A = this chain, B = another copy of it.
Amino acid sequence: MNSESFFTESTKAALKNNPPGEWMPTLPDGCIRLSSGFPAPNLIPVEQLQAAVTLLLEEEKDLPLHYVGSPKMAKLKEQINDRLLRRGIRVSEEELLITSGACQAIDLVARIIMDHETVVAIESPTYMEALEVFQNYTKHFISIPVDENGLQTNKLEAMLAERKREGLPLPRILYTIPTFQNPTGTTMTMDRRKHVLELAAKYDFLILEDDAYGELYFDEQPDPLKAMDNEGRVMHLGSLSKVVAPGMRIGWITATPELITAVAWFKKDLDHPFAQATMASFLEKNDFEKRLKTLRETYQRKCTVLLSALEQYMPKPVSWYVSEGGYFVWVKIAGADTSELLTHALDEGVSYIPGKHFFLNQQDGAEYLRLSFSYAEEKEIVEGIQKLSKVIKRILL
């Protein structure tokens, strides 16, 4: 029997254009993980989550272990609503859906909005998982470059105007990570935020705003696009993966009631009562603002350590953006092929993610790499940069 003969044409096309595969080799033992976009292990509230489960099951017994029935499910929505209010986002209950992380939300939005003819505008570079998801639905992308001030909205405007003039199909949706972008760590300026909202209205597209890092600012909290949106064009994604624990798989999406109804209808993994109720119990018993303060201070310190190490150890052809929040620093090595370089870096005992994975046209990313300062310890970060610098000097100079 030939299993593939049962696939739909769109499944066959997706698997062909965007073949499943590992994008990271197995890391050697003891490797310093500057590749991992994971929270710092010592910032994962292990004991508090343990206590939250104990308390939850003492209070609610079997309720959070059925399909439905735990009062904590509604509680979690309230708690997330409270987080949104602090980001300046005011939504009703019908405008909020809990998902299994932001990644599921991205897939669900793609599911209702994108087919093989849909044009999707993306940042270049962008979050690789999102790119992977979108490529399961369409081949039609408009890549708009990102600089140190985020998405270059003037280039977006020029592209839109040109397509309109030429009668080409316009994008139905723009996917953007305006705040502490993955992978570049950059943040869209307020002027550009206003500009992109104007363009969405003028050219009638939706904006999928991925705000997974928004609460992890070092000095200043930028307003999300969703807080500036009067038309319902912005769908806003959030997550507790970066600020509590990714293994809990708690994310959410806010959008118009019509969009949320459709997204919810196609979300067929049902709810996750145990994980969601545990999270609600955790949030109830812990001071989240205090927690965020610790996270911000810790990640700012780690980022400073990384940036200082880059200053101190990196040779001339290496440059980078200075991040003001989030998890990442984006590095350019003029003339390099960072994908080839990775093998040598792993041999030396340090990992990163080659830039190519964040670009639709992978060759555009050859000179870039993403470093994460979130997971490794400060001492390891310095050591990792020393190792990376050594490899660059040996291989490239």
Seen from chain A, the residues whose Cβ lies within 8 Å of a Cβ on chain B are 1, 3-4, 6-11, 14-15, 20, 38-39, 41-42, 44, 46-47, 49-50, 53-54, 57-58, 61-62, 64-67, 70, 99-101, 103-104, 106-107, 111-115, 118, 129, 133, 136, 172-173, 206, 231-233, 241, 245-249, 255-256, 258-259, 261-262, 264-266, 268-270, 272-275, 277-278
B101 touching A66, Cβ below 8 Å: no
A100 touching B269, Cβ below 8 Å: yes
B270 touching A20, Cβ below 8 Å: no
B46 touching A50, Cβ below 8 Å: no
Report the nearest B residue to A101, measured CB to CB.
Answer: B270
Cα-based distance from A61 to B103 in the complex (angstroms): 25
Cα-based distance from A259 to B3 in the complex (angstroms): 6
B262 touching A249, Cβ below 8 Å: no
8 A-B pairs (CB sep. < 8 Å): A4-B258, A7-B262, A46-B62, A53-B53, A65-B247, A66-B246, A100-B100, A100-B270
Rounded to whole Å, the gap between the CB of A79 and the closest CB of chain B is 18
State whether A65 and B266 are in contact (beta carbons under 8 Å apart), knowing that A1-B231, A8-B113, A274-B275 are contacts in the complex: no
Cα-based distance from A135 to B6 in the complex (angstroms): 18
B54 touching A54, Cβ below 8 Å: yes
Rounded to whole Å, the gap between the CB of A200 and the closest CB of chain B is 9
Report the nearest B residue to A172, measured CB to CB.
Answer: B6
B65 touching A7, Cβ below 8 Å: no
Interface centre among A3, A44, A129, A173 (most CB of B within 10 A): A3
A66: chain B residues at CB < 8 Å are 38-39, 41, 44, 245-247
Rounded to whole Å, the gap between the CB of A59 and the closest CB of chain B is 11
State whether A61 and B49 are in contact (beta carbons under 8 Å apart), knowing that A8-B115, A246-B67, A266-B136 are contacts in the complex: no
B114 touching A268, Cβ below 8 Å: no
State whether A113 and B247 are in contact (beta carbons under 8 Å apart), knowing that A61-B46, A107-B268 are contacts in the complex: no
Across the A-B interface, the 8 shortest Cβ-Cβ residue pairs: A100-B269, A107-B268, A247-B273, A3-B258, A65-B245, A104-B269, A44-B62, A65-B247
**Contact with A8, one of B53, B112, B255, B274 (Cβ below 8 angstroms):** B112
Interface centre among A64, A241, A269 (most CB of B within 10 A): A269
A57: chain B residues at CB < 8 Å are 46-47, 49-50
**Contact with A270, one of B42, B249, B266, B270 (Cβ below 8 angstroms):** B249
Rounded to whole Å, the gap between the CB of A69 and the closest CB of chain B is 8
Rounded to whole Å, the gap between the CB of A230 and the closest CB of chain B is 10
State whether A265 and B3 are in contact (beta carbons under 8 Å apart), knowing that A62-B46, A67-B38 are contacts in the complex: no
A67: chain B residues at CB < 8 Å are 38, 241, 246-247
Given contacts A49-B65, A50-B53, 11 further A-B contacts (CB under 8 A): A1-B256, A3-B259, A6-B113, A11-B112, A15-B265, A39-B66, A41-B66, A44-B66, A50-B57, A54-B54, A66-B246
A269 touching B103, Cβ below 8 Å: yes
Cα-based distance from A62 to B346 in the complex (angstroms): 24
B112 touching A7, Cβ below 8 Å: yes
A172: chain B residues at CB < 8 Å are 6
**Contact with A272, one of B1, B100, B115 (Cβ below 8 angstroms):** B100
B9 touching A101, Cβ below 8 Å: no
A14: chain B residues at CB < 8 Å are 265-266
Rounded to whole Å, the gap between the CB of A372 and the closest CB of chain B is 12
